[in-house]
Amino acid sequence: MLAYTYIDNGKFELTEKPLPKIQGPRDAIVRVTLASICTSDLHIKRGAVPRAVKGITVGHEMVGVVEEVGGAVGNVSPGDRVCVNVETFCGECWFCRRGYVNNCTDGNGGWALGCRIDGGQAEYVRVPFADTGLVKIPDGVSDEAALFAGDVLATGYWAVRISEQEPGDCVAVIGAGPVGLCAAACARIKRPSSIIICERNAQRRAFAKRYMPEAEVVPPEDMPRLMQALPRGGADRVLECGGTAASFEAAWRSARPNACVVVAALYEQAQTLPLPDMYGKNLTVKFGGVDGCDCAEILSLIERGEIDTVPLITHTFALKDIAAGYELFESGSDGVMKVAIKP
Ligand SMILES: [Zn+2]
Ligand SMILES: [Zn+2]
């Protein structure tokens, strides 16, 4: 089968690989019907994900149909349409039992797919811990609608969840890329008083405004004035989805005293917390990788029409043309937001 493979830093290539096989009783084989390219794939390509293993098939955001399951799999059966969680997790270790599945201690736990083991930019993928890593897609939800529920949308959902957002909060989202817009979509469900989206790229600002007309979408230079004008001098919840030094700084600066700042972005460089400047602001800062265990809840929100991320799919490429899809995604040209890959 065709599989997009991490050859070396700076080099991904479409290669021919044998079909994946069940390796353990908790595995499933999924025929991928739609996958996508994620910014994290680019981080791997640039060598910024040290635990990524050369030779693996990349891709960790996909939906498909279960082909085969191991003997211990009970939640899904062959023929089921499923969304694949970015994280596979044992469900039994200390971390999993508390919902901290990103830190599952099993060798196949956490972000393994498309990083440490073969992922989904391929025709088929083996998913360990299929009972926790696969979630059935409701009949009324299309592949396109479900595509992000296991990764970027899960990240947005998780960011909002750990921000402990309450009704009436003012939420600032820094960065209007796919994760930022997914975070904004999840924040909207919690009935905020307002959503302010900060984005430096004018094209992305226009996209965000079309996607979420009720949000205030502004360039970074407008943020200080806008934040000062808020009744409590800043946002109640800040979701940092930009991933740059400037967006990191904008995040804590935009927060009101005693606010919660959630850093969902993945950085390629270390960031600085200027504690003297922040002293007295009494912020709670939370950061890390998504605990991808809310997929079923997210799919039901999609089914009920409360979240729609289909507009984020701006381009679709066949798997055989995936290199062109990467080129477009990396260039950021043609108004690209998310690229879907059809095997
Ligand atoms: Zn991702
Ligand atoms: Zn675990």
* Residue 143 CA to ligand 2 centre (angstroms): 28
Q: Mean pLDDT score of the chain, rounded to an integer?
A: 97
* Residue 98 CA to ligand 2 centre (angstroms): 9
Contacts of 295 (CB under 8 A, 6+ apart): 83, 85, 135, 149, 150, 154
Average pLDDT score over residue span 239-258:
97
**Proximal ligand: closest to the CA of 60:** 1
Find out whether 129 and 87 touch, Cβ atoms under 8 Å.
Answer: no
- Residue ranges of domains in the chain: 2-151+291-342, 156-287
289 phi, psi to nearest 5 deg = -100, 145
* Residue 154 CA to ligand 2 centre (angstroms): 18
Other C-beta atoms lying within 10 Å of the C-beta of residue 218 = 17
Q: In the CATH hierarchy, which fold is given to the domain comprising 156-287? A: Rossmann fold (3.40.50)
* Residue 60 CA to ligand 1 centre (angstroms): 6
Percent of the chain with pLDDT over 90: 98
Q: Do domains 2-151+291-342 and 156-287 have the same CATH topology?
A: no
Tokens representing residue 10 in the block: 């700076």
* Residue 209 CA to ligand 2 centre (angstroms): 39
**Proximal ligand: closest to the CA of 42:** 1
221 phi, psi to nearest 5 deg = -65, -20
* Residue 117 CA to ligand 1 centre (angstroms): 15
pLDDT single digits (tens) 121-169: 999 999 999 999 999 999 999 999 999 999 999 999 999 999 999 999 9
* Residue 170 CA to ligand 1 centre (angstroms): 27
- pLDDT band of residue 268 (cuts 50, 70, 90) is confident
Look at the pTM and tell me if it is higher than 0.75: yes
User: 10-19 — which CB contacts under 8 Å span 24+ positions?
Assistant: 10/45, 10/46, 10/47, 11/45, 12/41, 12/45, 12/58, 12/323, 12/326, 13/323, 14/319, 14/320, 14/322, 14/323, 17/57, 17/118, 17/122, 19/123, 19/124
Q: How far apart are CA 124 and CA 103, in angstroms?
A: 26
* Residue 268 CA to ligand 1 centre (angstroms): 14
Sign of the CA dihedral with 313 first, then 204, 212, and 37 last: positive
- Quote the pLDDT of residue 196: 98
The arrangement of secondary structure in 2-151+291-342, i.e. its CATH architecture, is Alpha-Beta Complex (3.90)
Give residues whose Cβ lies within 5 Å of ion ligand 1: 38, 40, 151
**How far from 316 is each of 61, 107, 319, 340, 342, CA to CA, in Å?**
14, 33, 9, 5, 7
Other C-beta atoms lying within 10 Å of the C-beta of residue 231 = 8
pLDDT single digits (tens) 61-120: 999 999 999 999 999 999 999 999 999 999 999 999 999 999 999 988 999 999 999 999
Q: Determine the number of helices (DSSP H) and then strands (DSSP E) in the chain.
A: 12, 15
Q: Is the pLDDT score of 244 beyond 90?
A: yes
Nearest one of 14, 59, 15, 12 to 35, comparing CA atoms: 59
Q: Is the pLDDT score of 235 beyond 90?
A: yes
* Residue 200 CA to ligand 1 centre (angstroms): 22
